[in-house]
Copies of this chain bind each other. A is one copy, B any other.
Amino acid sequence: MKNVKHAKCVKCGKIYEAVPNLTNCSCGGILDIVYDYSYIKGVLTKETLAARRDNSMWRYRELLPVEESTPNTPLRVGWSPLYQADTLARELGIARLYVKDDGINPTASLKDRASAMAVAKAQEAGAGVIACSSTGNAASSLAGNAAAAGLKTYIFVPSRAPKGKVAQLMTFGATVISVQGSYEDTFELSRQAIDKWGWYNRNAAINPYLSEGKKTVGLEIMEQLDWQVPDYIAISVGDGCTIAGLWKGLKDLYAIGFIDRLPRLISAQAAGCYPINRAIETGADWSPMEENTLADSIAVGVPRNADKALAAIRESNGLTVEVTDGEIMAAQKLLGRTCGVFGEPAGVTGAAGLKKLCGQGKIPADATVVSVVTGNGLKDVANAINACGEPISIPGDMELLLKAFAENGIVVE
């Protein structure tokens, strides 16, 4: 990889050769992929990019840690739409708002970006099997992307994972182990099994390449905004890998001179589970928390990538915000009604956090903000049904329709 120098531990600074099956540093720290930005500057320009027809994350190959000979993965991951959300911006009282809908990815979440990277690196490593633990989205994205590439998968999910996510990954032919316990228990069992059998490891906080896949969401946002840097980017935070990846992409673009400043990150967590935000707010080290939120994808009491996430929030002079499950479900409806975007609870937590901060006067009225929706609402229909209530239900009769409208206070325009 001409564009990659090496991997470096974010804790102790130890340097590793960037082989495909990197895991953590011997000190336990997480590795970071270090690029040769002067090389990249020589081979990638904004004009080159603009001329590119590839509407997937692989359009950014010069910024990705893959060999030139490694094929693009089969599913079309990334290049999700960035919608200008004028109605919602007005409702929130900010100048400009953009909504990045990553729920339209092949398996319906941002995690496809990391899983596509895992598949590419597993192929470089000559592996035929990939494994991971996941609250659900990493699992189904791995299962789907691996199936398309002809790789086998073993996937460990906590037993609370929504049935839709489990059905999705079983349809992709994965061997699924549902662990009766917390996400932490699930992660531990997957670690032991991966050690025993030598499977390629797609756990995002252990495999340093996965953040590099996730960072493409940041690259896309900036290209879609024609390199005009927003003031804030709001995103939900669980394990910490996604916000860390987003930040890495932005820093890459800054390093190669594609953008001239960096936005502030808004780290949105659930009020029932916010170990990363708590560490920022108290200035203390992070410590485990209970996992009390219906936003299952970010119900992570023991964030495995806290180090990178905390660094990203601090480096960006970021904001933290916690939202209740009620605020999350209200944000789901708000995005649906104003933008036509249906996000899963964890997917809309960034928007819920943004709304809360706007209400508290913490976002200037002239701000430009991007809100990332990280997963599709169809992933978790049960909670949406609870939040929406039931439709009007009548037999097919016009008189009954008029009566039902009257009873429900519906005045037809």
Chain B residues near A170 (CB, 8 Å)? 384, 388-389, 391
> Is A304 among interface residues, defined by CB-CB distance under 8 A?
no
Contact between chains at A393 and B178 (CB < 8 Å): yes
Please measure, in the bound complex, the distance between the C-alpha atom of A332 and the C-alpha atom of B172, giving whole angstroms: 9
Chain B residues near A397 (CB, 8 Å)? 189
> Is A186 among interface residues, defined by CB-CB distance under 8 A?
yes
Contact between chains at B398 and A145 (CB < 8 Å): no
Please measure, in the bound complex, the distance between the C-alpha atom of A75 and the C-alpha atom of B80, giving whole angstroms: 11
Contact between chains at B193 and A159 (CB < 8 Å): no
Q: A196-B398, A388-B167 are contacts. A379–B377 as well, Cβ < 8 Å?
A: no
Chain B residues near A340 (CB, 8 Å)? 74-75, 106-107, 143-149, 172
**A173 to B: closest C-beta gap in Å:** 4
Contact between chains at B74 and A168 (CB < 8 Å): no
Please measure, in the bound complex, the distance between the C-alpha atom of A189 and the C-alpha atom of B157, giving whole angstroms: 45
**A385 to B: closest C-beta gap in Å:** 5
Contact between chains at B167 and A385 (CB < 8 Å): yes
Contact between chains at A396 and B81 (CB < 8 Å): no
> Is A163 among interface residues, defined by CB-CB distance under 8 A?
yes
Identify which of B149, B333, B394 contacts A171 (C-beta below 8 A): B333
Contact between chains at A163 and B381 (CB < 8 Å): yes
Closest 8 CB pairs of A and B: A148-B340, A185-B396, A176-B391, A171-B336, A173-B337, A378-B378, A76-B81, A164-B381
Chain A positions near chain B (C-beta within 8 angstroms): 55, 74-76, 79, 81, 83, 87, 101, 104-108, 128-129, 143-150, 152, 154, 157, 159, 163-164, 166-168, 170-173, 175-181, 185-186, 188-189, 192-193, 196-197, 332-333, 336-342, 376-379, 381, 384-385, 387-398, 401, 404, 410, 412-413
Known: A166-B388, A180-B396. 19 other contacts (CB 8 A): A55-B79, A76-B81, A76-B104, A104-B106, A144-B342, A145-B340, A148-B339, A163-B381, A167-B377, A168-B378, A168-B384, A171-B336, A171-B377, A172-B336, A173-B336, A175-B392, A175-B410, A178-B392, A179-B396
